[in-house]
Amino acid sequence: MSYLKLCLSGKMQYYCPETLLVMSSSGGFFRTELHPTRKAITGLLGAAFGYKRGDKHLDDFRESLDMKYRTVKSGNVIVDFNSVAPLYDDVYFKNVEGGLMKGNTGRVIKKIEYLTNYEFEVYIGGDREKLKEIYDHIVRPYWPLYIGKKVCLPAKPIVEEFEILDQLPADVYDI
């Protein structure tokens, strides 16, 4: 299998875990994984290609591509606090007990974890034609590319040149 190397480096990064959120009447807590997730890489590729959330092409990325990562540089985890007021009266949130909570109960505090000053290499595995297509879309994306959330901008280009690897470093992990 051939691999395309992506560099994910930025002041802040966010990688959504499978269990996204815990809400209570006092707010919510969004934690991050300590490495890139398949969901985040699939979202990044979807933005590059111009696919909207829920598009069947995103499932194709998730299922057909081999994804691996390695940590180049470790940083810290910080927590950001946001004050949020639901816009509609008929919005419901899942609370910590598993029940539903009516949305417009006033402002709530949202806590979001971010990775700071981390750098990862992500390796996308597939056939050479598909990797060339991915490269072309990443260097000229349909939508801007973020590292997890819109506040998480890449510090350097995600790919600098089209280079296909047939051999991966020893210290890579599956995503």
What is the chain's Cα-based Rg?
Answer: 18
Measured distance CA(26)–CA(38) in Å, rounded? 30
pLDDT for position 111: 87
Percent of the chain clearing pLDDT 90 (strictly above): 60
Helices (H), the chain: 38-49, 56-64, 128-139
* Domains with residue ranges and CATH for the chain: 2-174 (3.30.70.2660)
Mean pLDDT value across residues 15-31: 70
**pLDDT, tens only, 80-106:** 987 766 555 556 666 656 666 665 555
pTM of the model: 0.82
